[in-house]
């Protein structure tokens, strides 16, 4: 585990008496669903990140989107009012290209089933991107691009069926858009895998730990905090990297996802958005009261009656209710059973009826 981490193996939330910007020296930030959604900034994100830098927290932007080169990511962030530099950005394309460069002779041709971000970083790592099997590639790399069509997927299938080493930048099944989730690289990799009859040999991006370790290495961090919206990539990656994780509710993961999640993807802290970096976080531990597991956060209390969660006190803050609901639910999950979280979801919907995450 990374020095200074607070990650717990219990069913609770360990909390932080200090604001996260002072408890950790680096925020390893996902982008889609955390800093922006599509072309637009998450409300308040730019201001929260600017204040984090002022407080002395370093920022790294780690993305599984392999379609854009790092400079395009920087340009996008700057347009949204977020200070960013090339060294701040770690893409799954960079990690994939580095993995291939460590395994192949310089100048090796690599079939790219993806976009410009992959091609540029392959060249930067001394490899030669190609687009057809007629160029005799010695490996295949696949990453998300909105412009991938059937012909390129077919060419990738041809290469994979021929037995070439195959690295996927990431396996995200969905890609966030302003209109909701759309097919991601995992879905496109799945199409090639189904046609070729095998899975990728390796995966570069989250939830593999390589991107997180690279971000910590660049910044000399001993107390990094992973910040993401997805349990199955960002938070699972944090667990795999031995780092603490903050989940924010501005993207993919919902209250149901959080309450039903296993230890393998469980966050250390919960927050509505990036303002959570500037707050202390309560300790929430399960307690046994009158023979049932009970969790309290703020003035919200949730208990598990067997496998059914009940809201003892909803409180006034939906986030406190969610924290208490998670900890009560995790005692059931960790016993190998599926909790019934209906009552908590109903109470969350009453407290914040317009919140898309409260479901």
By annotation, the residues acting in catalysis are 30, 32
Contacting residues for 89 by C-beta, under 8 A, at least 6 apart: 60, 61, 63, 70, 73, 74
| Cβ atoms within 10 Å of 9's Cβ, excluding its own | 7
User: b/e per residue, 296-328, with b = 16+ CB within 10 A?
Assistant: bbbebbbbbeeeebbbbbbbebbbbbbbbbbbb
- Quote the CA–CA distance of 335 and 318 in Å, as a whole number: 26
Cβ–Cβ < 8 Å for 283, 16: no
- Quote the CA–CA distance of 90 and 211 in Å, as a whole number: 6
Count of alpha carbons within 13 angstroms of residue 164, beta-carbon side: 26
DSSP 262: -
Q: What is the dihedral of CA 355, 175, 267, 288, to 10 degrees?
A: 50
- Quote the CA–CA distance of 231 and 246 in Å, as a whole number: 10
DSSP letter string over 122-183? Answer: HHHTT-EEESSGGG--SEEEE---TT--HHHHHHHHHHHHTT--EEES---SEE--TTS-EE
Contacting residues for 225 by C-beta, under 8 A, at least 6 apart: 20, 23, 24, 26, 27, 28, 243, 244, 245, 246
């Amino acid at each position: 585990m990374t020095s200074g981490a607070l990650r717990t193996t219990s069913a609770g939330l360990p909390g932080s008496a200090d604001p996260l910007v002072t408890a950790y020296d680096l925020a390893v930030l996902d982008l889609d669903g955390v800093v922006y959604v599509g072309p637009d900034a998450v409300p308040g994100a730019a201001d929260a990140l600017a204040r984090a830098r002022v407080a002395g927290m370093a920022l790294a932007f780690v993305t599984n989107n392999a379609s854009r080169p790092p400079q395009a990511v920087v340009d996008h962030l700057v347009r949204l009012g977020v200070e960013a530099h090339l060294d701040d950005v770690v893409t799954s394309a960079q990690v994939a290209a580095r993995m291939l460069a460590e395994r192949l002779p310089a100048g090796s041709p690599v079939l790219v089933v993806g976009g410009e971000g992959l091609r540029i970083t392959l060249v930067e790592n001394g490899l030669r991107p190609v687009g057809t099997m007629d160029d005799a590639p010695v490996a295949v790399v696949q990453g998300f691009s909105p412009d991938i069509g059937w012909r390129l997927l077919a060419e990738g299938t041809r290469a994979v069926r021929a037995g070439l080493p195959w690295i996927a930048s990431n396996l995200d099944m969905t890609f966030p858009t302003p209109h909701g989730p759309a097919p991601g690289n995992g879905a496109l990799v799945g199409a090639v895998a189904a046609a070729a009859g095998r899975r990728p040999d390796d995966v570069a991006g989250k939830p593999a730990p390589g991107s997180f370790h690279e971000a910590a290495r660049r910044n000399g961090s001993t107390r990094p905090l992973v910040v993401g919206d997805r349990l199955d990539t960002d938070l699972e990656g944090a667990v795999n990297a031995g780092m603490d994780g903050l989940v924010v509710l501005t993207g993919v993961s919902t209250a149901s996802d959080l309450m039903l999640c296993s230890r393998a993807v469980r966050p250390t802290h919960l927050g509505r958005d990036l303002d959570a970096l500037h707050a202390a976080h309560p300790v929430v531990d399960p307690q046994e009261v009158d023979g049932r597991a009970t969790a309290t956060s703020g003035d919200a209390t949730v208990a598990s009656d067997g496998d059914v969660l009940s809201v003892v006190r909803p409180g006034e803050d939906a986030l406190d209710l969610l924290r208490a609901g998670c900890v009560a639910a995790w005692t059931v999950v960790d016993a190998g059973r599926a909790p019934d979280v209906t009552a908590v979801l109903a109470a969350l919907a009453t407290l914040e009826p317009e919140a898309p995450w409260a479901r």
